[in-house]
Structure 1
């Protein structure tokens, strides 16, 4: 958007009236983001968010009871009790290193389809022989590679 002098003056006037950025955008025929960006570049004064304004309005609308304040006596000083020294904390044992199982690879390419939940002992890969030039076996390739028209038919 090219900001003419008239458009800038209109923005400043609507901003001063307290309209929201979305409302200013609607009135000027531009996007809310264009209004926000230009207001920032013009260093227009910030306004509280609509959420904060609604909370402040709700808080000011509710009547507050006035409580009588009674004088409070200072608490009496407490005697200092000697503290027995604590025994030293047991040494922290380091966590055992994570077990990394090597990915079994044979001379032929194997399927890389994940099976199970990662991070659990049951997690593994399919490792069946992969399908010509694909990282998956025939069964998993049929799941991974779906034609676009097939997906549209399933969606209906």
Structure 2
């Protein structure tokens, strides 16, 4: 299918009226939605008019109280809003609602052990192997505190290294 001057003008007119790419493709015939989007992008059409809703849709919107008067959703999440920005034909922007963040309280009974700052050759099977600092620097060392039989780390560093799966999921 070739884009004739008449078809391009019709595309510009329908785009300015606010029709979707699928609606424009249906009216032009013989062209896909993606072809319309590609042509709109190449023509750098950015400003669009608003498509007028059908009378049945307007009645439904008015009956549900969903008029366009700045009504916002009360629950968290986001609502996709299709808009044309710059040279992009159809770019979905998200209107975000405010989300309440949970504030974490510091744990009061955490004791950070004083590191013994052992070098690699000083480590044994029962010393904590938690690295301190940059391995390429001269003052690099390991924690060196007493480690349990089943862990390479002391109690404090084990809590840092091994977090429960539920904690990891919550932190994402």
TM-score scaled by length of structure 2: 0.31
> Which structure carries more relative contact order (alpha carbon 8 Å, separation 6+)?
2
TM-score, length-scaled by structure 1: 0.34
Q: Higher Cα Rg: structure 1 or 2?
A: 1
Task: Judging by fraction of residues, say which structure has more strand.
Answer: 2
